[in-house]
Chains A and B, each alone.
Chain A
Amino acid sequence: EPEVTQTPSHQVTQMGQEVILRCVPISNHLYFYWYRQILGQKVEFLVSFYNNEISEKSEIFDDQFSVERPDGSNFTLKIRSTKLEDSAMYFCASSDRGGAEAFFGQGTRLTVV
């Protein structure tokens, strides 16, 4: 069964460092998303991406964040200069159509120390 895969599963980084979280969406999907979940809290929307550009972003997705689809398969989230409060689980998701069922990856746990 097709699935969304994310790497790494866990990343520890020092405050101020740049991190890149990687995702491989389901191959025939066209819409891509990043969400984050601080431990024990709700799942928060960060950004949606379609047709090689950002469709919408939340207020969390400030200038420190960027997304890219560098090739036909990967979808990345970059945090330029990490802060302690960026520590969270980051989920990538994809859907074949806008608003259709979104399938989530297993997540990357980011720990900023």
Chain B
Amino acid sequence: ELKVEQNPLFLSMQEGKNYTIYCNYSTTSDRLYWYRQDPGKSLESLFVLLSNGAVKQEGRLMASLDTKARLSTLHITAAVHDLSATYFCAVAFTSGTYKYIFGTGTRLKVLA
């Protein structure tokens, strides 16, 4: 069974602090995506990671992919309130058919 797990599920942090969200998946894939979702809104693409060792950075967020460990991380540096949202990783499975399996999501709340 294809599984994508994230931890933590909930994260409450102070502004200015650093933290990492982890995304583990159960089957071989070299394509992983991070999305942000604000309450009641759609999924906004943040990062596209397409190979082992890929690292992408945008502002205070940095994502990386280790396909051998089947692990991706989303690192938050010096958090600000605007980063409060739910973050999902999604793994693309492309053996014959195509689908994206989403992680459980991490609800991030940054406290002022």
Interface flags for A42-85 (1: CB within 8 Å of B; 0: not) read 11110010100001100000000000000000000000000000
**Least Cβ–Cβ distance between A32 and chain B, in angstroms:** 10
B104: chain A residues within 8 A (beta carbon): 42
| Chain A residue total in the interface (Cβ 8 A) | 24
Interface size class of B (residues with CB under 8 A): 20 to 34
Is A106 a contact partner of B41 (Cβ separation < 8 A)?
Answer: yes
- Which of A42, A44, A102, A105 is B33 in contact with, Cβ under 8 Å? A102
Chain B residues packing against A (C-beta within 8 Å): 31, 33, 35, 41-43, 45, 48, 88, 90, 92-94, 97-105
Q: How many A-B residue pairs have CB under 8 A?
A: 59
B42: chain A residues within 8 A (beta carbon): 91, 104-107
A101: chain B residues within 8 A (beta carbon): 33, 45, 48
Q: A33-B100, A42-B105, A50-B98 are in contact. Are A99 and B31 (CB under 8 A)?
A: yes
Is A91 a contact partner of B98 (Cβ separation < 8 A)?
Answer: no
